[in-house]
């Protein structure tokens, strides 16, 4: 199923795990995208995005195959095309974001936040990677985290980096 509340047409798939119901996940994804649109970080045009809600086993497989890291992680992003430059026109398809249930749920518990808030943050984080943002260098991390903080604040979600 896809949604079209924004310039990003989204396909949401629940592959595994104990995630909330698909309509709730779709709403979280749509709201996260709308908050990035409000931040002005999306380029011109329309695009497609796939968000897959999976489990640690599958994300570990993907992380090992694509990044050489044989462990699960909370979110992975797979661009369909080269990431657009900041403010550049969006490609016809951004790519895929894949979340791991056990890791995400464990992080939410450990950090004392709701799973829904953490899902919103992970979707924002994954989408920013697809838009060309990164956090390998301190200056890049500061920029990306500032965008995340602002987008989450628009959703009334507390600063995850505080």
Summarize pLDDT for 104-115 with one digit per residue, the tens: 999 999 999 999
Q: Which residue has the tokens 């999306």?
A: 42
pLDDT of 61 strictly over 70: yes
Burial of 18 (0-12, 13-18, 19+ CB in 10 A): exposed
Domain covering 2-154: architecture = 3-Layer(aba) Sandwich (3.40)
15 and 57 Cβ atoms separated by less than 8 Å: no
Closest residue by Cα to residue 98 from 134, 125, 69: 125
Q: Rg of the chain's alpha carbons, rounded to an integer? A: 15
pTM for the structure as a whole: 0.92
Give the pLDDT confidence of 80-130 residue by residue, as tens digits.
988 777 777 889 999 999 999 999 999 999 999 999 999 999 999 999 999
How far apart, in whole angstroms, are the C-alpha atoms of residue 45 and residue 61? 33
Which pLDDT score is estimated for 6? Answer: 56
Q: At what angle do helices 138-154 and 115-130 cross, to 10 degrees?
A: 130
> In sequence order, what are the beta bridge partners of 95?
49, 79
Can you say whether residue 120 is alpha, beta or left, with left for phi > 0 and alpha for psi between -120 and 50 degrees? alpha
């Amino acid at each position: 199923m896809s949604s079209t509340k924004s310039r990003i047409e989204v396909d949401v798939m629940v592959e595994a795990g104990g995630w909330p119901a698909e309509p709730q996940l779709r709403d979280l994804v749509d709201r996260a995208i709308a908050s990035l649109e409000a931040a002005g970080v999306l380029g011109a045009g329309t695009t497609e995005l796939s968000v897959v809600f999976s489990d640690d086993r599958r994300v570990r497989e993907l992380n090992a195959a694509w990044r050489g890291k044989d462990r699960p992680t909370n979110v992975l992003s797979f661009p369909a095309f080269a990431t657009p430059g900041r403010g550049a026109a969006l490609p016809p398809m951004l790519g895929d974001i894949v979340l791991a249930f056990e890791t995400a749920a464990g992080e939410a518990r450990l950090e004392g936040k709701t799973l829904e808030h953490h899902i919103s943050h992970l979707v924002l984080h994954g989408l920013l990677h697809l838009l060309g943002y990164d956090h390998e260098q301190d200056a890049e991390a500061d920029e990306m985290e500032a965008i995340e903080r602002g987008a989450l604040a628009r959703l009334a979600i507390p600063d995850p980096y505080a």
